[in-house]
Protein backbone atom coordinates (compact mmCIF):
# COMPACT_ATOMS: atom_id res chain seq x y z
CA UNK A 1 0.00 0.00 0.00
CA UNK A 2 1.23 3.53 -0.65
CA UNK A 3 0.53 6.80 1.14
CA UNK A 4 0.00 9.75 -1.23
CA UNK A 5 0.47 13.47 -0.54
CA UNK A 6 -0.48 16.05 -3.18
CA UNK A 7 1.70 19.16 -3.63
CA UNK A 8 1.09 22.28 -5.74
CA UNK A 9 4.32 24.14 -6.50
CA UNK A 10 4.19 27.71 -5.19
CA UNK A 11 5.99 30.63 -6.83
CA UNK A 12 8.32 31.12 -3.84
CA UNK A 13 9.60 27.53 -4.23
CA UNK A 14 11.15 28.30 -7.61
CA UNK A 15 14.50 29.93 -8.30
CA UNK A 16 15.98 32.40 -10.77
CA UNK A 17 16.03 29.73 -13.50
CA UNK A 18 12.26 29.23 -13.16
CA UNK A 19 12.31 25.70 -11.83
CA UNK A 20 11.75 24.35 -8.32
CA UNK A 21 14.78 25.04 -6.15
CA UNK A 22 16.48 21.89 -4.84
CA UNK A 23 15.81 22.92 -1.22
CA UNK A 24 12.05 22.85 -1.88
CA UNK A 25 12.10 19.12 -2.57
CA UNK A 26 13.19 18.50 1.01
CA UNK A 27 10.14 20.49 2.17
CA UNK A 28 7.90 18.33 -0.03
CA UNK A 29 9.44 15.17 1.41
CA UNK A 30 9.02 16.54 4.94
CA UNK A 31 5.36 17.46 4.34
CA UNK A 32 4.66 13.94 3.10
CA UNK A 33 6.59 12.36 6.01
CA UNK A 34 4.64 14.37 8.58
CA UNK A 35 1.30 13.38 7.03
CA UNK A 36 2.49 9.76 6.98
CA UNK A 37 3.51 9.91 10.67
CA UNK A 38 0.07 11.29 11.56
CA UNK A 39 -1.44 8.31 9.75
CA UNK A 40 0.75 5.92 11.76
CA UNK A 41 0.12 7.37 15.20
CA UNK A 42 -2.43 10.13 15.58
CA UNK A 43 -1.30 12.54 18.27
CA UNK A 44 -2.86 15.40 20.15
CA UNK A 45 0.24 17.28 21.37
CA UNK A 46 3.81 17.60 20.20
CA UNK A 47 4.96 15.86 23.37
CA UNK A 48 3.33 12.72 21.92
CA UNK A 49 5.59 12.86 18.84
CA UNK A 50 7.84 9.79 18.53
CA UNK A 51 9.77 10.19 15.27
CA UNK A 52 13.09 11.81 14.53
CA UNK A 53 14.77 12.15 11.15
CA UNK A 54 18.24 10.54 11.17
CA UNK A 55 19.08 10.84 7.47
CA UNK A 56 17.56 12.18 4.27
CA UNK A 57 18.68 12.08 0.65
CA UNK A 58 17.08 13.30 -2.56
CA UNK A 59 17.98 12.49 -6.16
CA UNK A 60 16.77 15.07 -8.68
CA UNK A 61 15.63 13.39 -11.89
CA UNK A 62 13.74 16.11 -13.78
CA UNK A 63 12.76 19.74 -13.36
CA UNK A 64 9.50 20.90 -11.79
CA UNK A 65 7.97 24.34 -12.25
CA UNK A 66 5.64 26.89 -10.66
CA UNK A 67 1.99 25.79 -10.49
CA UNK A 68 2.84 22.18 -11.31
CA UNK A 69 0.94 19.51 -9.38
CA UNK A 70 3.14 16.88 -7.79
CA UNK A 71 2.41 13.64 -5.98
CA UNK A 72 4.70 12.33 -3.24
CA UNK A 73 4.31 8.63 -2.56
CA UNK A 74 5.55 7.45 0.82
CA UNK A 75 6.42 3.79 1.22
CA UNK A 76 8.39 1.88 3.84
CA UNK A 77 11.49 0.22 2.40
CA UNK A 78 12.94 -1.24 5.62
CA UNK A 79 11.77 -1.87 9.18
CA UNK A 80 14.37 -2.39 11.89
CA UNK A 81 14.07 -2.68 15.66
CA UNK A 82 14.29 1.05 16.42
CA UNK A 83 14.24 2.65 12.98
CA UNK A 84 12.74 2.37 9.53
CA UNK A 85 13.47 3.70 6.06
CA UNK A 86 11.11 5.55 3.77
CA UNK A 87 11.20 5.65 -0.02
CA UNK A 88 9.47 8.75 -1.42
CA UNK A 89 9.32 9.18 -5.18
CA UNK A 90 7.85 12.48 -6.44
CA UNK A 91 5.81 12.44 -9.66
CA UNK A 92 4.16 14.99 -11.92
CA UNK A 93 0.47 14.19 -11.43
CA UNK A 94 -0.46 15.08 -15.01
CA UNK A 95 2.21 13.13 -16.91
CA UNK A 96 3.21 10.52 -14.32
CA UNK A 97 6.87 11.42 -14.91
CA UNK A 98 9.13 10.82 -11.91
CA UNK A 99 10.67 14.14 -10.85
CA UNK A 100 12.73 13.09 -7.81
CA UNK A 101 13.38 10.25 -5.35
CA UNK A 102 13.77 10.72 -1.62
CA UNK A 103 15.13 8.22 0.89
CA UNK A 104 15.20 8.73 4.62
CA UNK A 105 15.84 6.92 7.88
CA UNK A 106 13.48 7.56 10.76
CA UNK A 107 14.21 6.62 14.38
CA UNK A 108 11.45 5.85 16.85
CA UNK A 109 12.47 8.25 19.63
CA UNK A 110 11.52 9.12 23.21
CA UNK A 111 12.05 12.87 23.53
CA UNK A 112 11.64 12.81 27.31
CA UNK A 113 14.38 10.23 27.81
CA UNK A 114 16.31 11.50 24.75
CA UNK A 115 16.95 8.04 23.34
CA UNK A 116 15.73 5.69 20.66
CA UNK A 117 13.14 3.07 21.57
CA UNK A 118 11.86 -0.19 20.11
CA UNK A 119 9.17 0.38 17.53
CA UNK A 120 5.91 -0.67 19.26
CA UNK A 121 4.06 -3.63 17.76
CA UNK A 122 1.02 -1.52 16.79
CA UNK A 123 3.24 0.94 14.88
CA UNK A 124 5.23 -1.92 13.30
CA UNK A 125 1.99 -3.45 11.99
CA UNK A 126 1.01 -0.15 10.39
CA UNK A 127 4.49 0.24 8.88
CA UNK A 128 4.21 -3.25 7.40
CA UNK A 129 1.05 -2.15 5.56
CA UNK A 130 3.17 0.39 3.66
CA UNK A 131 6.24 -1.82 3.19
CA UNK A 132 7.43 -2.39 -0.36
CA UNK A 133 10.33 -4.08 -2.04
CA UNK A 134 12.52 -1.65 -3.95
CA UNK A 135 13.68 -4.50 -6.20
CA UNK A 136 10.72 -4.11 -8.54
**HSE (CB half, 13 Å, CA atoms) of 42?**
0
Q: What is the DSSP string of 25-86?
A: HHHHHHHHHHHHHHHHS--SSGGG--EEEEEEEEEE-S--BTT-EEEEEEEEEEE-SSEEEE
Mean pLDDT of 63-88: 97
Separation between Cα atoms, residue 83 and residue 71, nearest integer Å: 25
**pLDDT band at residue 135, thresholds of 50, 70 and 90?**
low
Mean pLDDT of 40-62: 87
With both helix axes pointing from N to C terminus, report the angle between 22-40 and 121-129 in degrees, rounded to the nearest 10. 120
Task: Give the domain ranges of the chain.
Answer: 3-129
Tell me if the domain spanning 3-129 has CATH number 3.10.129.10. yes
Residue 51 has pLDDT above 90, yes or no: yes
How much is the mean pLDDT over the chain?
A: 93
Amino acid sequence: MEFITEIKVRFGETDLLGHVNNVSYFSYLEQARIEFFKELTPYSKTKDWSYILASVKCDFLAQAYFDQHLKVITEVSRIGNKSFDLYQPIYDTETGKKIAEGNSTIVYFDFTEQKSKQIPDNVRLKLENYEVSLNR
